């Protein structure tokens, strides 16, 4: 099973060599088996890649992420039509009812909200604000028609970073979260596509200009896990997102979490989570979806 995320810096050349990615920098060459790679992250304006390698990425379900001059991911290249029953799965997906999507979204977003409360408690947020978030979670209904998720997020970020903090602010915290969420999104999109689903057809996110609505839906429980990771391993004395910090964020995908008594990497847990999501939708049983819990991540890696 693919497990490696390859982070390529400025000036490298990537090409296919037999069944390996060959990375060339000056006189040095590195070979990595395609079967080991789940995703490649490219940085730098002078990095080049061959179309033959891109074709092999598609055939091996390898995702490719392109970063801008500020080292933030701005684009993705994903496989197309590699799932063996792709048409059947897409037909089923297009027939999901609004009630099905509303009920499963309630389960998915509750996991995110519960994990936000758990991280806020871990970070020492005062009990009054924890209780406020818990009260908001308790009023969650199918489809989150009353936007409990938005209200919890407001209390969550205010409690952690101060009431003046906004997600638009130019600061290390936002840069780290933007980078981290983009990595999680890219991994989730690769798994969604590899499972034969259409990323544009979400269960809650329905933006006509967003090609990754479903990936944005399914990554939600993982956001607070990334927040915890960034808080522990990235935020500190630096006021910019260093190369070491970006490496630390990418390493999040290889950390272990416990799911139903089994220890697995975050990347593998996403595979299991998407599979359980498909099963829950096909069987019309929202409770069949796996639970992604922060406590099972903190307990393993701390």
CATH number of the structural domain spanning residue 255: 1.20.120.920
Is residue 81 over pLDDT 90? no
57 and 128 inside one domain: no
Instruction: Give the per-residue pLDDT at 302.
Output: 47
258 and 200 in a single domain? The answer is: yes
pTM for the full model?
0.87
| 261 and 132 co-located in one domain | yes
Integer Cα distance of 77 and 58 in angstroms: 9
What's the CA gap between 61 and 196, in Å, rounded? 11
| Number of domains within the chain | 2
Distance CA 185, CA 218 (A): 9
Q: Are 53 and 118 within one domain?
A: no
Q: Stretch 95-117: mean pLDDT, rounded?
A: 97
pLDDT band at 9 (very low <50, low <70, confident <90, very high): confident
Beta-bridge mates of residue 6: 40
Residue 73: the pLDDT is 82
Using a pLDDT cut of 90, give the percent of the chain over it. Answer: 70
Min mean pLDDT across 3-17, 54-68, 117-131, 196-210 is at: 3-17
CA atoms within 13 A on the CB side of 43: 14
Query: Closest Cα partner for 182 from 82, 252, 276, 233?
Result: 252
Q: Which CATH number goes with the domain that contains 56?
A: 3.100.10.20
> In whole angstroms, what is the distance from residue 148 CA to residue 140 CA?
6
- Angle, helices 223-233 vs 243-251, to 10°: value is 140
> Is residue 154 domain-shared with residue 297, that is, in the same domain?
yes
Higher pLDDT, 229 or 92: 229
Q: Domain of residue 183: give its range.
A: 86-301
Query: In this structure, are 130 and 273 located in the same domain?
Result: yes
């Amino acid at each position: 099973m693919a497990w490696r995320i390859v982070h390529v810096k400025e000036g490298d050349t990537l090409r296919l060599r037999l069944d390996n990615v060959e990375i060339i920098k000056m006189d040095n060459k590195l070979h990595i088996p395609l079967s080991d790679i789940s995703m490649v992250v490219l940085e730098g304006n002078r990095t080049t890649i061959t179309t033959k390698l891109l074709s092999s990425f598609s055939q091996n379900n390898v995702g490719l992420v392109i970063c801008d001059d500020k080292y933030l991911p701005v684009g993705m290249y994903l496989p197309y039509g590699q799932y063996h029953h792709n048409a059947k799965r897409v037909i089923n997906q297009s027939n999901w009812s609004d009630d099905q999507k509303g009920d499963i979204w309630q389960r998915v977003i509750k996991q995110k909200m519960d994990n936000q409360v758990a991280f806020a408690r871990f970070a020492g947020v005062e009990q009054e604000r924890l209780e406020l978030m818990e009260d908001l979670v308790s009023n969650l209904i199918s489809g989150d028609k009353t936007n409990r998720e938005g209200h919890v997020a407001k209390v969550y970020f205010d409690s952690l970073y101060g009431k003046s903090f906004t997600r638009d602010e130019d600061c290390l915290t936002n840069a780290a979260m933007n980078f981290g969420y983009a990595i999680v999104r890219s991994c989730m999109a690769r798994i969604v596509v590899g499972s034969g689903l259409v990323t544009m057809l979400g269960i809650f996110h329905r933006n006509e200009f967003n090609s990754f609505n479903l990936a944005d839906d399914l990554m939600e429980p993982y956001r607070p896990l990334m927040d915890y990771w960034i808080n522990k391993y990235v935020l500190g004395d630096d006021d910019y997102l260093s190369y070491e910090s970006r490496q630390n964020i990418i390493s999040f995908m290889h950390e272990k979490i416990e799911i139903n008594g089994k220890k697995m990497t975050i990347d593998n847990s996403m595979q299991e989570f998407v599979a359980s999501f498909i099963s829950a939708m096909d069987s019309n049983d929202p409770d069949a979806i796996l639970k992604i819990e922060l406590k099972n991540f903190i307990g393993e890696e701390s």
